[in-house]
Amino acid sequence: MDGSNNTRSNAYMEEYHRADKRKRTSSSRICIAVPKAKMTNLNIKPHVIKNPSIKPQIIGIKRKIIGIKGKFIGIRGKIIGNKLWFYSLGKKAAMVAVMFLMVFTAVVAAVKTDRYQPAVEVFYNGKSLGIVTDEQVFKQCMQEAKKEISKLLGDKEVVFDRSPEFVETRATDEQFTDPEELKDRLKSMVDVSVGAYAILIDGVPAGILKDEETAKSVLEELKKPYISDNPNVKVGFAQDVKIEKMFVKVGEIQDKQEVFNNLSALKEEVKTYTIKEKDTLWDIAIAYKISVDEILRINPGLTENIHPGQVINLSVPQPVLSIETREKVVYNEEIPYEVKEIKDDSMYQGRRVVVEEGVKGEQKVEAEIIRINGIEEGKDILTTVVLSEPKAQTERVGTKPLPPKHGTGEFRRPIYGVLTSRYGWRGREMHNGIDIAANTGDPIYAADGGKVIFAGRQGSYGLLVKIHHDNEYVTYYGHCSKILVKVGDRVAKGEVIAKVGSTGRSTGPHLHFEVRKNGVPQNPLDYLK
């Protein structure tokens, strides 16, 4: 370090002598130029020396200055050298420290690794419940949790809706979950289902009760109003009803009364009904506990003129669970006779004349009458025993084409039978037509061609048909059992328009026949040929 400083001092001295020599040769005026930067550092301002006598002193001063600068440079070099030594020493120390840290970390890791042991982490519904040594530990906790929940619910059977998932891992003693804490977590996180009994209607749950006995008692309560002392009556359900055990949430179990109310609640149900012989809308309405107006409302275009085989809709209040009863009965019924026809071209089409009366047979029937909610829906025939065979009836049937369907001005008899009441006063009451006795169901013929202007029920007439004959005449046909035409139809003279009956104010099957001219009743016997 000292050698380097001496070299720099010698360099300054040589530079000084060269500068001094140049000044002496260039002018008698002696000027000494000291570098401004160097002089400034020593607080010495540059001078121009005019007096040559002081030249040696100045040179001496400069040499001292240069010597002082040399010492400063030497000191600086030592400082730099010391810094390099310390820097070199720091690098070595850092390397040693890093190596020591690596060794220490490896030792600690080895110690920690020795503390970890095989374990499983338990997940339920995607969430971690904790860490245990093996699956068996968790399963034991699960069984204990089930028992505790079951006890809280009154010893109900308990199941968990999902299965746990196990993931293998490693853990320290501190990371394992305490069994009691694990049970608490399990009870708080899982969806618990309990055993209950459902009433299924056609496979669909309609009520969930706490036990099988309660479910059975609800069904028995529903059947109770239909149970009688008659040993031939069996009471059941119209739908497929089962009781099945299932696991549900605790809040889904219903009260007994709630289930009973739900199953007995009424709802409107549209069903079809096929008209039978002798049916009237009034009879149907009474049987199904609805009004005639309601039947007409849900059957647009329907009138009271109904006939066997006709299908209509009925809006009937039905409970959610319908009760079916089957009553075994034994009864005798008629066997209808066969009708043999003989074609007759001397009679108009639609006219029939009995040649030989038929005789109905009789049979003994054992059947089950089926009722739904107390209303008869049909019957199952079990056995039949013929008591007497029927005898066929022979009839002549007209094939002659009908006359034009307009008025001819002449009237024919509307029915063949016995005249039982004439036109005129009967006591204090005027009888506006004639009554002709006949059998129920016998055909009624149009007295002349024309247009049907009324077909339906009207007061004491019962079922009534009115025909306008394209002139001033209108004929009335009352007390019919069945009407075969409708308003707007055109009918021919002698065409069958209705069947004999006893509807309205009537004491037996007959036809009430009227002839009206310009609305005024006439004596029909004056017009019939």
Instruction: Kindly state the average pLDDT of the residues 232-246.
Output: 94
| Residue pair 212/245 in contact by the 8 Å Cβ criterion | yes
Instruction: Kindly state the average pLDDT of the residues 208-217.
Output: 93
| Residue pair 524/514 in contact by the 8 Å Cβ criterion | yes
- Give the whole-number percent of the chain exceeding pLDDT 90: 47
Q: What is the CATH number of domain 269-393?
A: 2.20.230.10
Q: For residue range 312-327, what is the model confidence (pLDDT) as tens digits? A: 999 888 899 999 999 9
DSSP helix/strand/coil, 402: coil
Contacts of 360 (CB under 8 A, 6+ apart): 334, 335, 336, 337, 390
Nearest CA to 482 among 504, 466, 463, 496?
463
Q: For residue range 140-179, what is the model confidence (pLDDT) as tens digits? A: 888 888 888 777 666 777 777 778 889 999 999 899 999 8
| Residue pair 377/468 in contact by the 8 Å Cβ criterion | no
Q: For residue range 347-391, what is the model confidence (pLDDT) as tens digits? A: 878 778 889 999 999 999 999 999 999 888 889 999 999 999 999
Rounded CA gap, 239 and 237, in Å? 5
| Residue pair 475/461 in contact by the 8 Å Cβ criterion | no
Q: For residue range 36-94, what is the model confidence (pLDDT) as tens digits? A: 444 444 444 444 444 455 555 666 666 666 666 666 566 666 655 555 554 555 556 55
Region(s) of the chain under CATH 2.70.70.10: 404-526
Q: Where are the alpha helices (DSSP H) in 46-194?
A: 55-115, 135-152, 179-189
Tell me, what's the pLDDT at 34?
Answer: 43
- Inter-residue long-range contacts of 168-171, CB under 8 Å, 24+ positions, other chains counted: 168/118, 168/119, 168/120, 169/119, 169/120, 169/121, 169/131, 170/116, 170/117, 170/118, 170/119, 171/116, 171/117, 171/119, 171/131
> Strand runs (DSSP E) across 336-483, as ranges?
339-348, 352-356, 361-372, 375-388, 393-400, 418-421, 424-426, 429-431, 434-437, 443-445, 450-457, 463-468, 473-483
Tell me, what's the pLDDT at 189?
Answer: 67
Region(s) of the chain under CATH 2.20.230.10: 269-393
Maximum average pLDDT range among 20-29, 274-283, 469-478:
469-478
Q: Which CATH class is domain 404-526?
A: mainly beta
